[in-house]
Amino acid sequence: MADSRMTHADFEARYQANPDPWDYETSEYERRKYDATLEACGDGPYNRALELGSSIGVFSARLAPRCHSLVTIDAAPSAVADARRRLSGMPWVQVLRGAIPEAIPEGGFDLVVASEILYYLEPDELSATFAALSDCLAPHGRLVAVHWRPPGRERPFTAAEVHALLRRQGWLWPVISEPTEDYLLDVLEHR
């Protein structure tokens, strides 16, 4: 377990100090991870997709063309404002500001992407998120989870712990597991 969890205020402070604090726009790691995540998502088109922890919308902009409707969620107001600007030319994309699991919209999603977000949740939040995803992911809908491997004091869980918990969810069926040295990537489908 983590020593000092990142709060929503901590995330916002990072975005206030640097609009791209994790170098989503320029990082080679992020580009490779986004390429692999998109491949894991498949070509689509997805009628309704959901992205958890969308940050400034760099990955969202790449995912959006594969979706008829895309909903993204992030808790940091500055990140949401930047994502809304980035995605403003895509009227089928809705950028929500809110915390997960509370902000997860009601169902019918045939794709959910959770990239480097689930390990920031406290145990009760993670359990509630799994329950919300079970309700909102359509039958045979795809959940793509990708998380950076190294542990961090600011995260209650490691990538390995989150992905092991996902694979133990009785409502999910593991489809693809493509770990790299840097991150874990799993594709699971709603039974």
Contact 110, 142 (CB under 8 A): yes
Q: Over range 162-181, report the average pLDDT.
A: 97
Other beta carbons less than 10 A from residue 64's beta carbon: 20
Q: pTM of the full predicted structure?
A: 0.94
The structural domains of the chain, with segments of one domain joined by +, span 8-190
Separation of alpha carbons 38 and 27, rounded Å: 16
Cis peptide before 45 (omega within 30 of 0): yes
- Reported as a pLDDT band with limits 50, 70 and 90, residue 2 is very low
Separation of alpha carbons 125 and 190, rounded Å: 20
What three-state secondary structure class fits 90?
A: coil
Cα 140 from chain centroid (whole Å): 19
Mean pLDDT of the chain: 95
The CATH fold of domain 8-190: Rossmann fold (3.40.50)
In this predicted structure, the answer to whether residue 159 has a pLDDT above a threshold of 90 is yes
Question: How far is the CA of 187 from the CAs of 9, 149, 182, in angstroms?
Answer: 31, 16, 17
Residues recorded for the chain:
191
The tens digit of pLDDT for each residue in 32-69 reads 999 999 999 999 999 999 999 999 999 999 999 999 99
pLDDT of residue 1: 41
